[in-house]
Structure 1
């Protein structure tokens, strides 16, 4: 028996040794290497190397040759592969092979042949590679990356190596934000990168190309400014260029929830027409990105339309408003499901015409909403000497608004040297608001001091327009350019408000009767007009230097006529009635010198800017107040970039920003909408100057698809406009008045790292930042420094092993330490953590499952605030029909019934937290029909309709 056991042990050991030897000779994973040369035995650096499966040409792994032509792809499972090599100017090479014994398979020298004319047809018929790398351009063959039927371009991008898309639809390529998305080389879908990616069908895409493009200003002037914009071009399949596409969705749910939306698009080489509509009571406020993206059109926005030439210019030319109401002329886009309870409806149409010499974009858009907000909030206010008081608010607000918007942009190229651009935007708005609130004030001992009951009603109507014209002339000398622009903007608004409030005081007996009981009616007329002009001249000096000289002019006139009367006596309240007229003008002239040679691009400039502020304030039974002030400011500017080759890039810069005071802050008008929080303007305000410094860099390895980026920003504020607060220790009435102060600043650092854990299957992205800021304000004439130090770290994991299963997970950790100089006992730490996961699963017979979970954590131990909020949505859907143009979907929103809008915030001299009731758990059954590549029978040769 012992002998048998001994023999058995010996045989087992021999078997294990044999298996070990065999495993050592043939490990499960291998490396494939070789060297790429041409017919003259010259090595070819940066050639694209790919390993494909022979059966379906699916991409397994990839890389690039080194400077000596050598390559090595590691960690590949043992099996038969198709090796494919591509290099510009040479015939694609492909070879099927089975790995040799051992851990390394050396394919030796691989010779590529140059493309001859007679070989062109061979090249055309060669199997398409999943991706190719040419310099800084990466081109993906969309057919090689499988996604489920009905997927959008966004779903396709998540499968592409070196690409990442977060849950909000923001795109990163090679570690950098994608600034522009084009379709067939044209911006048919506007300037927002989410427009095309969320709505276009993945099956419409033939190729995805990613590259570094020049800025629009560099293209227009011919002078390279050293700035690069990561750009993505989507090349459509031929069948999608010949007709229309779009989709219609209708859904009905429990709790009387319903939604309907649809869009239709049709374009050829010259024309684009888009029609869109939506209506819902599911908190889908305004137009979602996935609907808006194919609405605006290629010419609706252009970076070079800014009418303020030169550095340190104003904001976008089409934005005009903010003081007397929301006068933003752009179309509101809010794809998320907002807070409160909101009914929304919208409709719009868009037409674009694009030829070599004429580019037209025009649109009309209407939207309306009815929103109810029921919120509970609390706030602790810190005073000097460690004193404090608390407030709680129970607010009910109902908003109704209606907006009509029109826009057009026409660019006409007279000839190769002269171009005119005309841009116009207009808006008509009407709305009303009902606000009912109960505000309670408590002493530091938590005793009720006073409370205010508020019942306010407001109504408004407004109109606004912005018109801009730009002329550009290119001289025959390359780089020499002259440009001129002019613009006119206006806003008119008419508002009425009824303000009723009752203030009850429990700690004091003597107060002003007006403070105790307010019953007022006020009407306000506001008119504002602005004229702008700008000139630019660019002169090159040789191949390395050029100068840019510019002049800007702007004058803005504003009139506010406010009348307030007592509702009970119908008598005018002189102390609150005002007439205000203000004119702000500035002239700015400057020049800069640029050096550009071998990847080094540096510019330095200086400008002088003169402000003129003139205004008069009239109040009944009081003398007129006149303001007449002039300021002169020197502005410097330095910008630089270094192209270190091999996809390494660094930049630095200094740029000041000057902003004049707003009309609300300048006019000495008392705003008593909240009788215990009074706002008053200051006609003596100076312009605010912000000094901005930045430095950063990024690196991208196209072979491994690893990306690294980092940077730092610093801002220092001079004459910063802050709000001085005086708080009555008995009534807790707060009076604020804007003033200038110097010394506030903030500094921020950031970094990011992304790399594939397994090429084409798993990608990990890490990022983080550290920010510190000092905010200054006066509280009862004592200067308070609020110092915030925040830390943020995040990671995202994308798993895309096949078209049957995908998983996207993310974790974001945020910590903010807040310290106060006048009340150190209230120093606190706020934690805001967010975790998310999304999973997609394909089942047999075209059934699909989607699940998304967001888990939010809000903690502030100083005030005992600890909220953990899981929001879980899930859907099951089925594709219908042979062509899978239809879909039926059952969706469950907020399955755990935990949706509540929560926020917490600490700054200056207070900490606040709020909870707003919003749409919670409900179920929705929806049907979608997707039109894809409808054949256009009316099309004739020549590209017309």
Structure 2
């Protein structure tokens, strides 16, 4: 019944939208037949009864234009253009509701995706590393500030491309790195030179609140200023009463002169967040599976401050000095408590709140392995700063140049945590013959520091007008210190008083546990040698890069009374080849990437960490370096709106964990090992088409094949066996948009089928995910705007309850813009109207299946007020140009 109810609701919403679309289209058609545009004026209307006279006047205006000294012919701008490896989006083709933010505009562009929770912005599956405004970086490291604070109406164009470094741009080198894609926003002329300021406040039920202040200033050359203050919990949906985010961001970008540029960012954040969660796990073993259920609550408090500075000084035409610096200071406090139970047979408990009621008490002890209740409090302090300087010098007019660089990076981290746990083992017996119970009350302090220094030299030599050769060398020295001191606070434990890192008992130092403490000290000396050959012409771009990085590691480690020293020498190889062909309409590319990955220092520790008896880890000093390689092909056609990408990859000597399972305690011992056989293949095809400028149809198809290998066992005395899981994913999505500016509607459907087979157990899992979304909005007279969006999702498959994976998310908003120039806005937003949101996810891997549930706050509304005003600050040249435009 719930399924039918949700389907009928979405269909009814779509049905109600059809008359509005038809009315808007009919009105537009009638307007076109009753009005014509004059050749000189932008919007002079003529009535139908004088259509013939208007036509004659139009012909006369053409004759007058012929006699002019200059004739300007304009054509309709294409909404999206592929120009080489750059995608150009003309935002005027994407109509948004009044007052929409950049986030809403980005979602309308085919191929663009923004995950608000993780802050990941991507285009056709490729992550966007930073946002630029008029070619200059904007708030490095925080894309959400731009997407959620800048109005969509400010920008006339979006460019998406792989951005070269500052040194390459100064030398005129076009290099396709493949890992620095940016979203470059070009501002509208009418907003350049204006200080745009807005302040707003909102309040709602369920303790919802919001307050913000924004002020922005942009100029065409890249000069900009931005100030943003936000506080509230408007978009935080997890069930935790103290949820709140406070954020401050300050950005400045300024060309002091033609030779000197300064850019700076300052960001401060203070967050409180928490969640009530539960999960269910099924782990594969050679002769049978193990199961576990957990539930708990955690709360986080984070405070962070970061700042960066970027300066460039151009000395004449041949020399440039660049200086960049970063400072970060953060503290996080984490409090958690929960319960977890393990079984050697399926207990048939629900994923959501498994220990509620009498279900757990009715499970026979014969299938129970352990039952753990635990709580912990931890405080982590992180401090980091870096400084880098670069000198770029052109040696002659042909392009020969050298680049000298140097940098340092210092980091300090201190973690302090207190944990207590009660573990009941059903398979072990104590002295009295009853189940064994382990009580642990520990305090850990883990100070660590890292220091690195680099110096490099790069030489570039043109071989011809199209070819260039580069040779570079870089030396890097890294030092890392890590210490963990563990104290057993059981003698000080008082059930009536809660212990925490802030209230440790006097004399706790005497409870130092040598066997659970360790220390490690490492040094790395690395030499990087790189050779690059580049070819750039009107249609061809190619570059071949080969990097060799020999390094020497020394590692001193101590755990308890055991001590070991390790010296390791290795060579990392990083080859890369990229070839791209471009003509007027088509673009083809092929890229090969290879990289050697050395094991982490912590993975090479030969000692055992048994601070948690159920999750013991061991290092492996015999680990080999892993080599990852990928081969990708891509093609694009601008007139067809078609993009295709194929990617193949595999890893040699993949670093994974061998897991040893103890059937008596339910504990696991893991150790890193090398393994082969991991590989995957991916296909992505996207298409879009504009119809009569107001209709947009877009779609995509994706397919993936993946083979994943793990090592598991069910007896501590046996060697682990290979657990191979094969995955197959197939999916598609389609979007229809109608955008008139007055009425806009967006509908989207998607489908994803996943199938996995574990060869060790012969277990086959499959699931299908369906989603349908509808988002209409209409701009009414007198500044009224009504918008709503509904999304329905359904998941089906093996051992999946449709009731648990079936939800309808419906939101609505009404806003009114009033006063002169509509500078004031009152809005009411209702989120999750049907109170149907859930956060239940399912994931499968080579070692098992996991389901995770995060409790949501439910339906709520927010009433907001915002006031905006603009003030122009222009130079004399800009004022004269603006006056001339108005007169024309």
State if a TM-score over 0.5 links the two structures.
Answer: yes
Tell me the equivalent position of 2:672.
738
Alignment of 1:601-616 (within 5 A): 601-616=541-556
Which of 671, 676, 694 does residue 614 from structure 2 map onto? 676
Distance 1:260 1:555 in 2: 46
Tell me the equivalent position of 1:390.
291
For structure 1, the 5+ residue unaligned runs are 1-57, 61-75, 86-91, 99-111, 285-336
Deviations 1:506-559 (A, max 9, x none): 233269999822222121111111112332211111223221212232222111
- The question of whether the paired residues in 1 share the 8 Å contact of 2:93 and 2:693 is answered with no
Which of 774, 788, 799 does residue 862 from structure 1 map onto? 799
Deviation at 1:567, TM superposition (A): 0.7
Deviations 1:88-115 (A, max 9, x none): xxxx9x9x9x9xxxxxxxxxxxxx99x9
1:246 aligns with 2:207: no
Deviation at 1:486, TM superposition (A): 1.6
Tell me the equivalent position of 2:281.
379
Deviation at 1:849, TM superposition (A): 0.9
- The question of whether the paired residues in 2 share the 8 Å contact of 1:890 and 1:925 is answered with yes
Deviations 1:61-83 (A, max 9, x none): xxxxxxxxxxxxxxx99898669
Deviations 1:110-145 (A, max 9, x none): xx99x999724x64xx8x655379995999997898
Alignment of 1:102-141 (within 5 A): 119-120=69-70, 123=72, 130-131=76-77, 136=83
Distance 1:528 1:475, change over 3 A: same
- The question of whether the paired residues in 2 share the 8 Å contact of 1:688 and 1:720 is answered with yes
1:629 aligns with 2:568: yes
- The question of whether the paired residues in 2 share the 8 Å contact of 1:835 and 1:855 is answered with yes
Tell me the equivalent position of 1:516.
438
Deviation at 1:235, TM superposition (A): 3.8
Tell me the equivalent position of 1:852.
789
Distance 1:480 1:787 in 2: 51
1:620 aligns with 2:560: yes
Q: 3-state DSSP class of the match of 2:821?
A: coil
Tell me the equivalent position of 2:362.
none
- The question of whether the paired residues in 1 share the 8 Å contact of 2:686 and 2:698 is answered with yes
Tell me the equivalent position of 1:293.
none
Distance 1:173 1:775, change over 3 A: closer
Deviation at 1:723, TM superposition (A): 0.9
1:688 aligns with 2:626: yes
Deviations 1:568-621 (A, max 9, x none): 244322221111111233212131323334522333343332132210111332
Distance 1:416 1:844 in 2: 56
Deviation at 1:150, TM superposition (A): 2.7
Tell me the equivalent position of 1:721.
655
Tell me the equivalent position of 2:832.
894
- The question of whether the paired residues in 2 share the 8 Å contact of 1:473 and 1:483 is answered with yes
Deviation at 1:154, TM superposition (A): 6.2
Deviation at 1:201, TM superposition (A): 3.7
Distance 2:472 2:450 in 1: 26
1:490 aligns with 2:384: no
Structure with bigger helix share is 2
Distance 2:381 2:161 in 1: 45
CA RMSD of the aligned region, Å? 3.9
Deviations 1:687-741 (A, max 9, x none): 322112111111111xxxx311111112221221111101112221111111222
Distance 1:885 1:442, change over 3 A: same
- The question of whether the paired residues in 2 share the 8 Å contact of 1:903 and 1:913 is answered with yes
Distance 1:820 1:770, change over 3 A: same
Which of 431, 443, 449 does residue 344 from structure 2 map onto? 443
Alignment of 1:537-556 (within 5 A): 537-556=459-478
Tell me the equivalent position of 1:787.
726
Q: 3-state DSSP class of the match of 1:575?
A: helix
Distance 1:363 1:469 in 2: 18
Deviation at 1:272, TM superposition (A): 3.3
For structure 2, the 5+ residue unaligned runs are 1-26, 49-61, 348-366, 492-509, 714-719, 880-888
1:259 aligns with 2:210: yes
Distance 1:271 1:600 in 2: 34
Deviations 1:823-873 (A, max 9, x none): 11x220133333322111223332211111222323341355651121111
Distance 1:272 1:227, change over 3 A: closer
- The question of whether the paired residues in 2 share the 8 Å contact of 1:283 and 1:340 is answered with no
Tell me the equivalent position of 1:565.
487
Distance 1:202 1:785, change over 3 A: closer
Q: 3-state DSSP class of the match of 1:256?
A: coil
Distance 1:887 1:900, change over 3 A: same
- The question of whether the paired residues in 2 share the 8 Å contact of 1:456 and 1:500 is answered with yes
Distance 1:371 1:141 in 2: 38
Q: 3-state DSSP class of the match of 1:845?
A: helix
- For these two proteins, the number of residue pairs brought into alignment is 778
Distance 1:494 1:154 in 2: 37
Alignment of 1:772-921 (within 5 A): 772-780=705-713, 781-800=720-739, 802-824=740-762, 826-862=763-799, 864=801, 866-921=804-859
Distance 2:634 2:36 in 1: 41
Which of 593, 596, 613 does residue 536 from structure 2 map onto? 596
Deviates more, 1:741-750 or 1:857-866: 857-866
Which of 618, 638, 643 does residue 577 from structure 2 map onto? 638
Distance 1:510 1:667 in 2: 33
Distance 1:163 1:863 in 2: 32
Which of 353, 358, 362 does residue 264 from structure 2 map onto? 362
Tell me the equivalent position of 1:324.
none
TM-score normalized by structure 1?
Answer: 0.75
Distance 2:603 2:828 in 1: 51
Q: 3-state DSSP class of the match of 1:774?
A: strand
Alignment of 1:52-67 (within 5 A): none
Tell me the equivalent position of 1:291.
none
Alignment of 1:345-494 (within 5 A): 345-354=246-255, 355-385=257-287, 387-444=288-345, 446=347, 447-494=367-414
- The question of whether the paired residues in 2 share the 8 Å contact of 1:840 and 1:848 is answered with yes
- The question of whether the paired residues in 2 share the 8 Å contact of 1:131 and 1:139 is answered with no
TM-score normalized by structure 2?
Answer: 0.79
Distance 2:66 2:419 in 1: 83
Deviation at 1:675, TM superposition (A): 3.6
- The question of whether the paired residues in 2 share the 8 Å contact of 1:378 and 1:912 is answered with yes
Distance 1:794 1:469, change over 3 A: same
Deviations 1:298-356 (A, max 9, x none): xxxxxxxxxxxxxxxxxxxxxxxxxxxxxxxxxxxxxxx66756221122333332243
Alignment of 1:227-242 (within 5 A): 233-238=185-190, 240-242=191-193
1:272 aligns with 2:221: no
- The question of whether the paired residues in 1 share the 8 Å contact of 2:195 and 2:217 is answered with yes
Deviates more, 1:855-864 or 1:226-235: 226-235
- The question of whether the paired residues in 1 share the 8 Å contact of 2:135 and 2:222 is answered with no
Distance 1:579 1:278, change over 3 A: same
Deviates more, 1:661-670 or 1:831-840: 661-670
